[in-house]
Amino acid sequence: MAQRTIRFRIRPDGRVEELVEGVQGIGCEQLTERIEARLGSVQQRRNTSEAFQAPVVQTTQSDQVVHTRAD
């Protein structure tokens, strides 16, 4: 899994800027919604190119083999 990072910049006027890295699609908003609720209202949102990428889904395939003994 890729590393996910949230960076915060607190401005002198009290505004907080948040930058999320390593999260594709709507996962960014899902990741930060609780933090944003505690910080206050979101005044502006600018999506990075990662927001428009489809999330990467990793799947694994396993083969199950069942052996039976004929007595």
Q: Do residues 33 and 41 make contact, with C-beta atoms less than 8 angstroms apart? A: no
As beta bridge partners, residue 17 has 9
Paired strand residues for 7: 19
Instruction: Please give the average per-residue pLDDT across 61-65, as a whole number.
Output: 54
* pTM recorded for the entire structure: 0.59
> For residue 44, how far is the Cα from the chain centroid?
19
Residue in 70, 29, 67, 68 with CA at minimum distance from that of residue 50: 29
Domain limits, the chain: 5-41
DSSP 8-state class, residue 54: P
Q: What is the mean pLDDT of residues 23-46?
A: 83
pLDDT category, 42, cuts 50, 70, 90? confident
Q: Which residue has the tokens 């910049």?
A: 9
